[in-house]
Amino acid sequence: AAPRPAHGCGSGALLGRFGVLLQALLALCAFSTLMLKRFKEPKAERRPWRIWFYDTSKQAIGALFIHFANVFLSDLTEEDPCSLYLINFILDATLGMLLIWLGVKVVSWIVQHKKYTYLVFGEYGDPPQAAAWIGQCILYLLIMVFEKTVISLVLLIPGWTKLQQILLGYIPNPQLELVLVMFVVPFIVNAIMFWVVDSLIMRKYKQKDTLDINGSIETPRARRTEESQVLLSPDMDFDQSESDQDVSGPRGTSQKMKQPSYQVVI
């Protein structure tokens, strides 16, 4: 067995029996926040279970990739792997979150520009297609690979070793350090990250389009806006139309009487 340092968890502790148990408990508690988020959505906008599964499973795949990448990178060192894992995790939750947001925006712009409808995050067709979900999972996983690559390059900057030595050096119990690193801190941060990322990649609620009397597509919001502009407009002057009638005055002069034009609002 590898010697355990005076402070911090020993090599291989992240993949030990206690570490794996903490990781399974973390996954259960963290993804329960996505379940809570679904029930917090308004009933009119709440996603069906199949759509919710398609949305959240992309995060699950990305989170598992990041987690096992952090575990692998942390076990490469002979020093305290718990502190190195915590540094990776903190960078993922700060700089990594910014990179994920940027990646989602760039990928969304590209697929919309190329008109790849089924690759737009949150759009799966009607009825939902598994092929669209697979394509979006691949795109999201590529964003995670990009994010982890940048974070790994950032860790090559000198100076992280000193932070690693003092980050958890005040905790003498290795198991307590493992609980903080693998459960307490990741649960709090992952709950926030899952909530934010789910809002980024889910389909935004859209009201169904309706057809007006002319056959053109009109959304309810646009229709309400048009109604308010007509009914609340301060300028109620009548426009002159071709149906103006000439009315002769007493002196023989011709005057035009404007016929009011009416607009039917449905």
Question: 170-217 pLDDT, tens per residue?
Answer: 777 778 888 888 888 888 888 888 888 887 777 654 433 433 434 444
| Six token digits for residue 123 | 């759009």
Residue from 194, 209, 202 nearest 51 by CA:
202
- Give residue 209's pLDDT: 40
- Give residue 140's pLDDT: 92
Residue from 28, 23, 107 nearest 66 by CA:
23
Is the pLDDT reported for residue 237 higher than 60? Answer: no
Count other Cβ atoms within 10 Å, centred on residue 255.
Answer: 9
Question: For 23-66, how does the pLDDT look when each residue is reduced to its tens digit (9 = 90+)?
Answer: 888 888 878 888 888 888 888 878 888 888 888 888 889 888 98
pTM of structure: 0.65
Is the pLDDT reported for residue 79 higher than 50? Answer: yes
Residue from 182, 189, 158 nearest 168 by CA:
182
For 181-246, give the secondary structure using H, E and C.
HHHHHHHHHHHHHHHHHHHHHCCCCCCCCEECCCCCEECHHHHHHHHHHHHCCCCCCCCCCCCCEE
- Give residue 216's pLDDT: 46
Is the pLDDT reported for residue 99 higher than 50? Answer: yes
